[in-house]
Structure formats: structure tokens, C-alpha cells
Amino acid sequence: MEPIIHIEDVHKHFGQVHALRGVSLDVHKGEVVVIIGPSGSGKSTLLRCINRLEEYDAGRIV
């Protein structure tokens, strides 16, 4: 089955802070995905990159 969201090896830096390090994920139709982690772990940054509100430095989001 083809994923509706495909994230491959995404990296994002804020200055010297490496906020996203090689994030990869596929989301298929009908799936529910939960992103959990401690404060400052990149959850909001990942969502902002998926929604094209933030540019990422490397990788692919399709």
C-alpha cells in the first residue's frame, strides 16, 4: 500500500542545534500516528516541516 505521507532521512538545524536527525516515517491511509517525546525533542519542528511551515535542511517529505 502506498503511504499518504513519506518522510525520509529529514534533518533540521537551528544554528548549531540539530533539532531533527535522520527522521524517517511512513503514514498509510487509516493509520493514527502519535508523536511523543520530552520537551525540546523536535515534535513541533517535525509537524511544522510536514506542513511546510518550516524548511528542513536535508531529506524528503512527500
In Å, how far from its chain's centre is CA 58?
11
**4-16 pLDDT, tens per residue?**
999 999 999 999 9
Q: Mind listing the domains of the chain with CATH numbers?
A: 5-61 (3.40.50.300)
**4-49 pLDDT, tens per residue?**
999 999 999 999 999 999 999 999 999 999 999 999 999 999 999 9
Determine the length of the chain.
Answer: 62
How far are the Cα atoms of 7, 13, 33, 47, 58 from residue 28, in angstroms, in the given order?
Answer: 12, 28, 10, 17, 23
Mean pLDDT of 43-57: 98
Rg of the chain on CA atoms, in Å: 12
The pairs formed by 34-40 with CB atoms below 8 angstroms and a separation of 24 or more are none
Q: Is the pLDDT of residue 1 over 90?
A: no
Residue-level pLDDT at 2: 94
